[in-house]
Amino acid sequence: MSRGDSLERMSSTLASAPVTLGAATSADAIALAYASDGESGFVFKGPGTIIEDIQSHFGIDLLDELSFFSPSGKTGEVFEIPVSAIDSTTERIYLTAIGDATTPSLRLAGAAIARKVRGKKTTLYSACAVNKYDIGAHAISLTMGAYLWSLKSEKLSESPNFLVASDDKEIVSTALIFAKAIALARDLVHTPSNIKTPAWLATQAQDLAKSNGLKVKVLSGRDLKEFGGLRAVGGSSPKPGPRFIEVSYAPKNRKKAVGVLPHVVLVGKGITFDTGGVSLKRPYDSMIAMKSDMAGAAAILATLTAIEKLQPNVRVTALMMCAENAISATAQRPSDVIKHYGGTTVEVINTDAEGRLVLADGLAYADINLDPDYLIDIATLTGSATLGLGRQFAAMYTRDDTLAAQFEIAGTHSGDRVWRMPLINDYKDSLRSDVADFNHAAEKANYSAGSVTAALFLEHFAGNRRWLHLDIAGTGRSEVDAGENPKGGTGYGVRLLTSWILSLK
């Protein structure tokens, strides 16, 4: 089976359309936004005179129509009114609540409207967003809400085409670049692990690099000699074994020499399936979600495809640390001691804490070989991160206040939100081992703070670099089909990392 070939696999399309009645009424459906106005009233909001034009064209009073439904005004509420008029294709108008009319509300409204046309061959003209930034955010969320993924042999669904009312073509074409990258990350996460081996991920990266002008280097087998963490985890699955995938971007038309551009290195956890290894996951049904344990690696690969199209003046290298954490006769054992890239020795306590082992090699490799100005890792690392923050915010760790502030802004700005967590020095004791430089996982009974102790472990391998760690165990996957997300991979991190990198140039 090959779901390989191109980024064009995002099925819904997205384009800008002029803010004119003609453009609106040539679509099958039109989405319009209403917001609360004072005590109990509502007001329709749209660019230019589109609201008035549509009312007179169809001979309707939108507020009257709305009151028929007894609306609550809660963001994402959608009502459908059938319409018809001579000279127009339009059959439906979707009335959509945008609550307080903020950017996050326009995102949710976009996803809610898109769900109405998901799987249908409908052309939808959305005139919900007015200002430039909201138009981009709303456009991305339309495609997020329309996302469908399946390996059903019978093709049952079609794909909607979105037209976003805007005269700013660039904002919508940038949104499309984001949308495709998010869909790519989601596709990779949704792909089941019998298909998605580390070698398969390497092929995906190579194919994407070819069509996108990125460079890619893949290490496997003997070439991974020094990557003790990657081998210890990936050795459990003899064929095809672990892969180190390095994807790099440099701008095409450089004004400055490559050496002086800021260098961002992204390290992603790419565990293609996490059984827990010998320390088997319990309860067993918690394992089903573990095909998503490569969401970090998917996010950085997808980010690079977007970055390549947007050509910012920075260098970016993505290190995808790919292995399966299987249970087999060649699996590592609790009490094994391994040697990481760069020489640090680590006593393995619980083979289910495999993510930090593969990330440690990646961080050390970056520190030793790549001279990064920024070293960022992203991983579905600990269940504890989800306990603390739920599924809407990623846990962010860094000692660098400036970098933390940049990510907080990029998070709010992009919709992929983060919450800064403390690197608590007192808990470093938990990483002491009697027989190795470090013990790789804290005893739960003594420390509890699983996401914090995991971050402290990783910090050692980042050397003195400007380092930031994102624990996306909660945000990388959604257990429900709601808001912007389908059940399964969310594509979390693509908007965050891409927005942050663009802010550096």
Q: Does 296 bind ligand BES (CB under 6 A)?
A: no
Site track 329-368 with Mn ion (rule: CB under 5 A), x = hit: -----------------------x----------------
Nearest residue (CB) to Mn ion, 135 versus 321: 321
Least Cβ distance, residue 22 to Zn ion (angstroms): 53
- What is d(CA 266, CA 78) in angstroms, rounded to the nearest whole number? 39
Is residue 56 classed exposed, middle or buried when 0-12, 13-18 and 19+ CB atoms within 10 A define those classes? Answer: exposed
Least Cβ distance, residue 428 to ligand BES (angstroms): 16
Phi, psi values for residue 437, rounded to 5°:
-60, -40
# of chain residues touching Mn ion (CB under 5 A): 2
# of chain residues touching ligand BES (CB under 6 A): 16
CB under 6 A: which stretch of 55-63, 116-124, 242-250, 351-359 binds ligand BES?
351-359
Is residue 292 classed exposed, middle or buried when 0-12, 13-18 and 19+ CB atoms within 10 A define those classes? Answer: buried
Nearest residue (CB) to Zn ion, 115 versus 243: 243
- Residue 222 annotated as catalytic: no
- State the catalytic residue, choosing from 243, 356, 391, 417: 356
Q: Which does 473 bind (CB under 5 to 8 A by kind): Mn ion, Zn ion, ligand BES, none?
A: ligand BES
Phi, psi values for residue 431, rounded to 5°:
-100, 10
Q: Does 355 bind Zn ion (CB under 5 A)?
A: yes
Q: Is 31 helix (H, G, I), strand (E, B) or coil?
A: strand
Structure tokens that stand for 301 in this block: 């690969």
Nearest residue (CB) to Zn ion, 472 versus 501: 472
Is residue 13 classed exposed, middle or buried when 0-12, 13-18 and 19+ CB atoms within 10 A define those classes? Answer: middle
Strand partners of residue 374 = 264
Spatial neighbors of 260 by CB under 8 A, at least 6 apart, are none
Q: Does 383 bind ligand BES (CB under 6 A)?
A: yes
Site track 262-281 with ligand BES (rule: CB under 6 A), x = hit: ------------x-------
Spatial neighbors of 74 by CB under 8 A, at least 6 apart, are 97, 99
Please pick, from the candidates 274, 361, 377, 484, the single residue that binds Zn ion as defined by CB under 5 A: 274
Spatial neighbors of 94 by CB under 8 A, at least 6 apart, are 29, 30, 31, 32, 78, 79, 80, 113, 116, 124
Q: Does 382 bind ligand BES (CB under 6 A)?
A: yes
Please pick, from the candidates 113, 137, 208, 353, the single residue that binds ligand BES as defined by CB under 6 A: 353
- Amino acid letter at 381? L
Please pick, from the candidates 145, 355, 483, 486, the single residue that binds ligand BES as defined by CB under 6 A: 355
Q: Are 349 and 276 in contact (CB under 8 A)?
A: no
Q: Is 37 helix (H, G, I), strand (E, B) or coil?
A: strand
Q: Give 304's DSSP letter.
A: H
Q: Does 293 bind Zn ion (CB under 5 A)?
A: yes
Q: Does 360 bind ligand BES (CB under 6 A)?
A: no
CB under 6 A: which stretch of 114-122, 257-265, 348-356, 422-430 binds ligand BES?
348-356
- State the catalytic residue, choosing from 3, 120, 217, 281: 281
- Residue 281 annotated as catalytic: yes
Residues 360-389 close enough to bind Zn ion by CB under 5 A: none
- What is d(CA 373, CA 462) in angstroms, rounded to the nearest whole number? 11
Residues forming the active site: 281, 356
Applying CB under 5 A, the residues found at the interface with Mn ion are 274, 352
